[in-house]
Structure 1
Amino acid sequence: MNKADVFGALHRNRLPGDPLVLPGPWDAASARVFAEAGFPALATPSAGVAAALGHEDGHTPADEMFAAVARIVRAVDVPVSADVEGGYGLAPKELVERLLEAGAVGCNLEDSADGVLKDPHQHAEWLAEVRTAAGDRLFLNARVDTFVRGVTDPERAIERAALYVAAGADCVYPIGAPAGVLPLLRSGIEGPLNVHALPGEGPSPAELGELGATRITFGPGLQQRATAALREIAAGLRTG
């Protein structure tokens, strides 16, 4: 079984309360830490990688992002999925080729740009083209940005999710969804459900799993926690 198959299998037959927890490495060193801790797979956060490369979130050049993903992939033996934001304007075939060249087994793709939601039908058509180009070589996680763009009605997220699943998405990610609406989203969305968690805050991964999450990611949260710890160390060096 190749790494892409292994990654896909990790999403299947999950029990409530036992979601797939995917830490988000921002460089090779953090990836090794998470792999050595025993996590079976990893998922890079675009914002965390951007910070590590010295860029603002959403402003990382495509070449730098793919190079960073490749370094992370080379550093570990476990499967790595990559957050590639909105695809950097690449045609589906080229996007898939770049992901595979970097060694990624999956990708996270957003349905908003410049703070504005994309037309869901057009986005679904684009996702279908990515699916066709990728075949079974990539696990597609379709991010649904309604909640982070001020659309709080869960039904709007469910409608978009249905279009994306029909287009070939393997997983749906309603980022920013409040924990209280997760059971409704779970009942209305087919297939695996990705939920964002805050490290050390809010419901635990197990609790989010009980509410319907299939898998848990943390966005840039882990990188930000590491940066905060480094600030404390640095302050101690100056005052110690």
Structure 2
Amino acid sequence: MTHDVAAIRARFRELHKEGCFVLPNPWDVGSARLFQHMGFKALASTSSGFAWTIGKPDNGVTCEDVLGHLTALCAAVDLPVNADFEAGFADAPEGVAANVTRAIATGIAGLSIEDNVLTAPFGLHDTPRAVERIRAARQAIDQSGADVMLIARTELLFSEPGAITPAIDKLIAFAEAGADCLFAPGVKKREDIAAMVRALAPKPVNVLVVSPEITVRELADLGVRRISVGGALARAAWGGAIAAAEQILKEGSFAAFAQAASGNKLNEIFEGFV
């Protein structure tokens, strides 16, 4: 498959200028091609979903693992791919910059950098240190000459769900350091999402769906520019496989196969990529 990487990256940036779009998170080449076939406009990798495909827990993959995975995803589809690049696989800003440079070479259109600390005592980088890391990632992108979007994210709401204002303050600092898009996974309440969008405007905000009751339309009305689902689609696929296997083991029944996708349909989809 031949790609015009510059055009793909330009398309990705255009998606962030108005409206709202969903980034499904494929966990392998097959799921990436499936989501392209279904009509999604862009994709985002999932660190957890990918880790499970190679028999590792979330946060158990190496930088080399992820670079190989991103290269495979970008080569397999004609859609922009946003990389879940975890915490940049380094604590020091210069390490983040070096790894971001390597990620750009895979063909990605965007990448996110978290504020997790990778060495003891773990936790999160404080704002000054986290900003240094985002600034280093920004400089690496600028020096590469590639039009790759930088998404800065704080994991604060996972440990402190009520810390909406501190999370917003940290994201504002990231925006000032050069982030193109801001992300605080864990924000749930509609009023909190709206406050985050207002505070960070005109920069686009990404929301991770953590409540299945909310809809794309509702998030769009709140001003959210992009929506991701993290490892949820991968977990749905694993959930189907686990349920079917448990039924075989516990009941001796293969009834769950009635809900399986058609092999002919899957072959039809993937033949379009050959």
Same fold (TM over 0.5): yes
Runs of 4+ that moved beyond 6 A: none
What is residue 225 of structure 1 aligned with on the other side?
236
Answer yes or no: is 1:95 the counterpart of 2:99.
Answer: yes
**What are the ranges of 5 or more consecutive residues in structure 2 without an aligned counterpart?**
1-5, 255-274
Answer yes or no: is 1:186 the counterpart of 2:197.
Answer: yes
Q: Which has the larger radius of gyration?
A: 2
CA distance in 2, matches of 1:219, 1:92: 22
| Contact 2:109–2:147 under 8 Å retained in 1 | yes
What is residue 207 of structure 1 aligned with on the other side?
218
Answer yes or no: is 1:197 the counterpart of 2:202.
Answer: no
What is residue 27 of structure 2 aligned with on the other side?
26
* Paired AA for residue 47 in structure 1: S
CA distance in 2, matches of 1:207, 1:49: 29
| Contact 1:146–1:152 under 8 Å retained in 2 | no
**Residue in structure 2 matching 1:140, options 147, 150, 154:** 150
- Would you say how many aligned residue pairs link Structure 1 and Structure 2? 235
**What are the ranges of 5 or more consecutive residues in structure 1 without an aligned counterpart?**
none
The 1:100/1:106 distance shift into structure 2, 3 A limit, reads same
What is residue 131 of structure 2 aligned with on the other side?
124
Give the secondary structure class of the aligned counterpart of 1:68.
helix
Answer yes or no: is 1:161 the counterpart of 2:151.
Answer: no
* Paired AA for residue 47 in structure 2: S
The two structures have a TM-score, normalised by structure 2, of: 0.81
**Residue in structure 1 matching 2:115, options 111, 114, 123:** 111
Identify which range, 123-132 or 213-222, moves more after superposition.
Answer: 123-132
What is residue 86 of structure 2 aligned with on the other side?
85
The two structures have a TM-score, normalised by structure 1, of: 0.91
How large is the Cα RMSD of the aligned pairs?
Answer: 1.8
| Contact 1:179–1:211 under 8 Å retained in 2 | no
Cα offset, 1:178, TM superposition = 1.7
Cα offset, 1:107, TM superposition = 0.6
